[in-house]
Amino acid sequence: MMGINTSRIRNLLIPVGGIAALTLGLMMTGGTASATHGGTGNGAPNGGHYTLNIIGVANPKTADMKDTSGHTIFVPLNGKTVIWLCEAGVDANCDETVGVSDTDFKVLDRNGTDADGALFVLPNSDPDGDGATVYFVFARALGTPGGKSITTTCAAGPGGVFGTDDDTCSVISMVLERDAGRSKFENVSKYLLYIYADLDGDGDLAGC
């Protein structure tokens, strides 16, 4: 397995069905992420983290939300959206020219309700290429019970154009449902930091 390589993994495809908010906690750690020991009580481990809130809205946003500060991305309450990913400090327009270092998490375009989608900067999760990630992703669904979202990590085809036959999407997706009661975080790193595929048709999945 390899960590996220944003030169290949370019976007998250998120069909949203009535979930008012998704909260992603990106935890920077050098060890194993566990919420069972020394946790916060809401399913997330203690420690430094970056919180990203993905908010479902009934009506598309019309304001220009590029290069605005904040930890929020707006997406359609129902339907599909694309959140583009770029590697901090490496990819064009995601480097020091826009005030981003190679260790930053940052929202560069908060509007996921328009045609070009949202844009989120994140570091390479496996900079050494040894299969061990340097951070983990935890997520939980908020809002009125009954909603559901399905998030799939994909690599866009040549030229970075998404929505063609050249796209490669993981065969597993993050599925979050808003049940009644207190919502707790769960470790969703394998769904959001990797693309899984059955490369030789033997039923065993490989991650990259």
Q: Is residue 95 part of a domain?
A: yes
Q: Is residue 4 part of a domain?
A: no
Q: Is residue 110 part of a domain?
A: yes
Number of domains in the chain: 1
* Whole-number Å distance between alpha carbons of 52 and 59: 21
Check residue 94 and give its pLDDT.
82
Whether 81 and 118 have beta carbons less than 8 Å apart is answered as yes
Q: Is residue 6 part of a domain?
A: no
* Whole-number Å distance between alpha carbons of 47 and 36: 14
* Whole-number Å distance between alpha carbons of 124 and 3: 7
Mean predicted lDDT score pLDDT of the chain: 76
pTM of the model: 0.79
Check residue 6 and give its pLDDT.
38
- Hey, what are 82's tokens? 């694309």
Count Cβ neighbours within 10 Å for each residue of 16-37 and write b for 16 or more, e otherwise: bbbbbbbbbbbbebeeebebee
* Whole-number Å distance between alpha carbons of 100 and 16: 29
Check residue 13 and give its pLDDT.
56
Q: Whole domain around residue 39: which residue ranges?
A: 11-207
* Low-confidence residues in the chain, pLDDT < 70: 1-24, 27-41, 158-163, 199-208
Q: Is residue 3 part of a domain?
A: no
Q: Is residue 61 part of a domain?
A: yes
Q: Is residue 135 part of a domain?
A: yes
Q: Is residue 1 part of a domain?
A: no
> What CA–CA distances, in Å, run from 32 to 49, 133, 136, 189?
14, 9, 9, 12
User: How many other β-carbons are positioned within 10 Å of the β-carbon of residue 85?
Assistant: 22
